[in-house]
Amino acid sequence: MIPVAEPFIDENELQAATDAVRRAAISGHVQDYIVKFENGFSGYCGARCGIAVNNGTTAVHLAITALGIQEGDEVLVSTYTNMATFFGVMYQSARPVAIDICPDTWNINPELIEKAITPRTKAILVVHAFGHPVDMDPILEIARRHGLFVIEDAAQAHGALYKGRKCGSLSDIASFSFYANKLITTGEGGMVVTDNVELAETARQYRNLCYGLGEDRFQHEDVGFNYRMSNLHAAIGWAQLEKLEANIAKKRQIADWYKVRLESSSALQLPVERNFVRNVYWMYHVVLNEQCKVDRRTVMARMAEEGIQTRPGFTPFNQQKIAHTRNLARSEDCPVANRIGARAFYIPSGVTLAEDQAEKVSRALLRAIEP
Ligand SMILES: *Cc1c(COP(=O)(O)O)cnc(C)c1O
């Protein structure tokens, strides 16, 4: 089976992890690899502060919390994403508002934002879908005019560039994931990144149970969370950091391999790269367009028969049962995401993929879409 993604780990990760284990420096209170990883990664992003956490979902929640978003507040969120993005808002009892996407980049459509703003709106939460940066300028401009925060869920976009600047440094605060299939990984892990020192301090407090800052450490300042990353995971992350640019180059190479082999098919919509961005092609996501006479289930089943793993596109928030039962959205709300989500899937595109495998996947896909 050719898997959709496998992490690339070598002796460097082993060495760093071994070093942490040898010194018993493994918890979330040890300030060595954690600090190195935080400084290294936030510096790479071009932001002053990094707050390492235990996964990308808690990173979203921590970013929301640090901004003071709470019950009754509304947050506009791109509907086509991993539901972790929405859950991060819902954990805070705030109300997520699903916004439809652009048909080509699969990112939030800036033209739909303004009419969704109400007096309760506090923030716009964008997702750089599949590694293609959101067109931030119009969104930042709307946010400025309405006094809203902007948050990036950059879990799929480590190192992606928007007009020469890194995703994660384009807004008030951003979240990343280091899950095993992301651009770099700690197995499980995440980070909040911000240029705002005060926001970073708030996030650090909530990450660590809001322990008392005065004489009495056990007199807590608020109801905090334990979202700490362990030093053992940070050791792996610190070693992975060295591989990030090479991983991006590999993802772009994989996207090239697929593009030249698949672009002649009129049945497939492939990822784009607008001229003001560097797409990092987190996963190679393709959409069966109206000319394709075979349904997605059949295409994916045919590929599985040839030993190729695929994953379907996201089910948009507006189609989630939990959104309906809570009266947060209706199925038909976001027609573009509904169409893409029903017709998309992603094909093997992990950093360990070889060209002959991309060749095999491409041939299998071209056969699978034949009626
Ligand atoms: C992966 C991902 C997350 C969740 O990260 P975990 O580390 O799995 O919790 C959140 N948002 C997006 C956009 C993701 O792709």
Place of tokens 């991993």: 82
Give the chain's mean pLDDT. 98
Rounded average pLDDT over 198-210: 98
Judge if pTM exceeds 0.95.
yes
Rounded average pLDDT over 297-306: 98
Q: Residue 36 pLDDT > 90, yes or no?
A: yes
- Taking alpha carbons only, the member of 194, 177, 195 closest to residue 186 is 177
Quick one: pLDDT at residue 167? 98
**Residue 90: which pLDDT band, with cuts at 50, 70 and 90?**
very high
d(C-alpha 159, C-alpha 148), whole Å: 25
Rounded average pLDDT over 259-284: 97
CA of 56 to the centre of ligand 1 (A): 5
Rounded average pLDDT over 261-268: 97
53: left (phi over 0), alpha (psi -120 to 50) or beta: beta
Quick one: pLDDT at residue 194? 98
d(C-alpha 72, C-alpha 69), whole Å: 9
Report the chain's C-alpha Rg in angstroms. Answer: 21
Which ranges constitute the DSSP H helices of the chain? 11-22, 33-45, 56-66, 84-90, 136-146, 197-207, 231-241, 244-262, 296-305, 321-325, 335-343, 355-368
Place of tokens 């991060």: 88
Closest CA to ligand 1's atom 14: 155
Quick one: pLDDT at residue 145? 98
Token readout for 142 is: 């709307």
Quick one: pLDDT at residue 14? 98
Residue to substitute in 61, 64, 78, 179 for testing ligand 1 pocket (most ligand atoms within 8 angstroms of CB): 179
pLDDT tens track for 138-165: 999 999 999 999 999 999 999 999 999 9
Rounded average pLDDT over 63-83: 98
Which neighbouring-strand residues pair with 312? Answer: 345
Q: Residue 30 pLDDT > 90, yes or no?
A: no
Quick one: pLDDT at residue 69? 98
Quick one: pLDDT at residue 140? 98
**Residue 31: which pLDDT band, with cuts at 50, 70 and 90?**
confident
CA of 166 to the centre of ligand 1 (A): 18
Q: Pocket residues for ligand 1 (CB within 6 Å)?
A: 55-57, 60, 81-82, 84-85, 127, 153, 155-156, 177, 179, 190
Rounded average pLDDT over 257-274: 98
CA distances from 332 to 84, 89, 339 (A): 21, 22, 10
Q: Residue 19 pLDDT > 90, yes or no?
A: yes
